[in-house]
């Protein structure tokens, strides 16, 4: 039994699609990661003893964003604005 060689144009398209998806994911997570890194820098300013907290905070923030935290926050904000007297 022989296997056919993959079509080079299909392989190139798959690589291009993977790169595009990675770029979109990076752009989507960038604001959250920037906030996390800024907070981590503020925590870390006073000494190297706090670097584990900085890394943990950045990782936790990135994880929450990846799991839909930004959409949940926007939804909660919209619900609060819609139900507040005004």
**Rounded distance, CA 9 to CA 64, Å?**
37
| Sequence-distant (≥ 6) Cβ neighbours of residue 76 within 8 angstroms | none
What does each of the 86 residues of the chain score in pLDDT, given as a tens digit? 567 676 677 888 888 888 888 888 888 778 778 877 877 787 777 665 667 777 877 888 888 888 887 787 777 777 777 776 65
Structural tokens at position 27: 């752009």
Domain boundaries, the chain: 31-86
Residue 62 structure tokens: 């990135």
Count other Cβ atoms within 10 Å, centred on residue 84.
Answer: 7
**Integer Cα distance of 83 and 86 in angstroms:** 9
- Entry pTM: 0.38
């Amino acid at each position: 039994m022989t296997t056919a060689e993959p079509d080079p144009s299909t392989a190139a398209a798959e690589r291009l699609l993977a790169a595009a998806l990675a770029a979109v994911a990076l752009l989507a997570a960038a604001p959250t990661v920037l906030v996390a890194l800024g907070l981590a820098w503020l925590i870390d300013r006073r000494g190297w003893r706090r670097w584990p907290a900085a890394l943990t905070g950045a990782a936790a923030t990135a994880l929450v964003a990846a799991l839909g935290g930004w959409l949940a926050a926007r939804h909660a904000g919209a619900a609060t604005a819609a139900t507040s007297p005004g």
